[in-house]
Structure 1
């Protein structure tokens, strides 16, 4: 008696390949939804727009080479700057904060100040470098 052998089907001929393709599509759709942004989002003005800032709505801070913050001639800690900016934001909703940074300032101090401005929801924040790079 002769035993009939079944022919083995290759992977491409079976329904397993369509199952794998379907699972890969689901996988990529799921991971596409995880868009994590750890950066600082800046809303930049339009190219041709002009914006008027009143003198009362402008605060200028300086950061020296050691990372110390000064405002109107006095040295401040980050907590003191937070208190001053918070009270100014309450009085002036269109507050613009400008930070002039020494080129030798520690970058972690700069980042901490930028995060502070973001946390306090300052309407307009700008920074510039002073000194040689």
Structure 2
């Protein structure tokens, strides 16, 4: 008796292998690219609702940021470098200093970021800001 071997053809064998390779490469590509998208920003520690921070009114250091980017401290106009020196002086006398920044609603975002960066460089622990709508001096 003679036995014949019958070969079974696998349907579409070549395309499934290359499709698996392509999908694997795409997954690796997107995993690697996702690592490049790192958002750097300000990390601000917000108080919890259960433990609100109580601040003395004498420890508040008030500053205003106008729409045109001018910085006012007690009706005196300052630039950012003068503001940092004032903050450092106040931190020496008031270690529990709370910086309150009042921002005009029409102020450019970059001006706000510049002032916040200056405050962070001075290592102010307590920081607060509020938006003022339509108030100008």
SS of structure 1 residue aligned to 2:127: strand
Give the length in aligned residue pairs.
125
Equivalent of 2:91 in 80, 86, 89 = 89
Deviation (angstroms), 1:69: 0.5
Instruction: Give the match for residue 106 of structure 2.
Output: 104
TM-score (normalizing by structure 1): 0.70
Cα distance in 2, alignment partners of residues 113 and 53 from structure 1: 22
TM-score (normalizing by structure 2): 0.68
Cα distance in 1, alignment partners of residues 62 and 50 from structure 2: 25
Instruction: Give the match for residue 74 of structure 1.
Output: 76
Instruction: Give the match for residue 132 of structure 2.
Output: 130
> In structure 2, do the counterparts of structure 1 residues 97 and 32 end up closer, same or farther at CA, with 3 Å as the change threshold?
same
Task: Give every structure 1 segment of 4 or more consecutive aligned residues whose post-TM-superposition deviation is greater than 3 Å.
Answer: 30-37
Q: Contact conserved, 1:93 with 1:123, CA < 8 A, in 2?
A: no
Equivalent of 2:66 in 64, 70, 75 = 64
SS of structure 2 residue aligned to 1:66: coil
Q: Contact conserved, 1:97 with 1:125, CA < 8 A, in 2?
A: yes
Cα distance in 2, alignment partners of residues 121 and 64 from structure 1: 23
Cα distance in 2, alignment partners of residues 47 and 40 from structure 1: 21
| Structure 1 spans left out of the alignment, 5+ residues | 1-9, 11-29
Cα distance in 2, alignment partners of residues 77 and 84 from structure 1: 11
Cα distance in 2, alignment partners of residues 64 and 34 from structure 1: 36
After superposition, the CA RMSD in angstroms is 2.9
